[in-house]
Amino acid sequence: MNTTTIVIIVAAVILAWIILAYNGFIRRKNRTDEAWSDIDVQLKRRYNLIPNIIEAVKGYAKHEKSVLEEVTKARTEAMNAEGTGNVGEVGKTENMLSGALKTLFAVAENYPDLKANANFLDLQRELADTENKIQAARRFYNTNVRDLNTLIESFPYNIIANLFHFSKRDFFELENEKQREVVKVSF
């Protein structure tokens, strides 16, 4: 084998590796985008359920107006943040909305007729199901972000990442430190 043949083979191997690495980045980027889309779908489902829950509560809890306004405001802020695509901002507003919903359900505990209302119970179950789906979608997103970020930081893939401008993504994290605390249960 002459030198030209060796150079061509080495160049072909390097080119094949670059193509495979690039395609690996694209695959992980697309999985991360898909995971974000899954979160988006569940958040929209949640946003659509909230007005129905508020209407169900309104009839029973007329003097709890501030709680209803807080939920409505938090929902609006979360919907607006979602449009920005900023994961940190979406996480922050979603955590505010979750807190407002918890307050709403705590208020509902004071109204036995409301708690027994079939429509309210169905809405509450649907929202709980949606919250579970949001949590699963967040975990799926964070797994894909971890895989993409690891590849971006790993040698020699970081060379390809820099060459083609692949950048790290933010994790979908809790903003409120109180949500990280272990709940104390006493009997």
Q: How is the chain split into domains, by residue range? A: 3-25+33-173
pLDDT of residue 14: 92
Query: pLDDT tens string for the chain (187 positions)?
Result: 788 999 999 999 999 999 999 999 999 999 998 998 888 888 888 888 888 777 777 666 665 667 777 888 888 888 888 777 778 788 888 888 888 888 777 777 776 766 666 777 777 788 888 888 888 888 898 999 999 999 999 998 889 898 899 989 888 876 655 544 443 433 2
The CA-atom distances, in angstroms, between 26 and each of 31, 33, 61, 164 are 9, 10, 51, 10
pLDDT of residue 174: 62
pLDDT of residue 49: 81
- Residue 58 near residue 111 (C-beta atoms within 8 A): no
pLDDT of residue 12: 94
Query: Which residue do the tokens 């692949």 mark?
Result: 166
Nearest Cα neighbor of 97 from 54, 36, 148, 62 is: 54
pLDDT of residue 180: 45
- Residue 57 near residue 107 (C-beta atoms within 8 A): yes
CA angle 110, 112, 118 (to 5 degrees): 125
3-state helix, strand, coil in the chain (%, to 5): 80, 0, 20
pLDDT of residue 56: 72
pLDDT of residue 150: 92
CATH of domain 3-25+33-173: 1.20.1440.20
